[in-house]
């Protein structure tokens, strides 16, 4: 589906896979996703470093989302439009 179609779609759109950074989260939300799954990223941190690794990975991801939003000129994900994003061609 294209971005405009996603915004008009009445069902929930969840993005899972290939989410490696806060910028990826912001891109997915800006393209119309209702939610972004980051479990794999966090599960790896938990496996490799335990609870401290999980806390650190989650803190870094949240901060990266905040920075990515700020760079796009937005304070909330709902404010993001596709025109504000650099989207990889394979998306």
pLDDT range class, residue 62, cuts 50, 70, 90? very high
Q: What is the mean pLDDT of the segment spanning 72-85?
A: 86
User: What does the pLDDT read at residue 2?
Assistant: 54
Print burial letters for 28-48: b (CB count within 10 Å at least 16), e (below 16): bbbbbbeebebeebbeebbee
Is residue 47 a part of any domain in this protein? yes
How many domains does the chain divide into? Answer: 1
User: What does the pLDDT read at residue 5?
Assistant: 63
pLDDT range class, residue 63, cuts 50, 70, 90? very high
Is residue 39 a part of any domain in this protein? yes
Is residue 30 a part of any domain in this protein? yes
Is residue 60 a part of any domain in this protein? yes
Is residue 81 a part of any domain in this protein? no
DSSP state, 76? Answer: S
Is residue 85 a part of any domain in this protein? no
Contact by Cβ (8 Å): 61, 38: yes
What is the residue range of 30's domain?
3-76
């Amino acid at each position: 589906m294209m971005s405009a179609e996603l915004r008009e779609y009445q069902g929930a759109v969840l993005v899972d896979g290939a989410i490696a950074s806060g910028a990826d989260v912001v891109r997915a939300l800006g393209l119309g996703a209702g939610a972004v799954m980051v479990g794999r990223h966090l599960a790896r941190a938990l496996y490799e470093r335990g609870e401290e690794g999980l806390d650190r990975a989650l803190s870094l991801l949240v901060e990266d989302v905040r920075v990515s939003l700020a760079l796009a000129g937005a304070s909330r994900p709902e404010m993001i439009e596709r025109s504000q994003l650099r989207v990889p061609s394979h998306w």
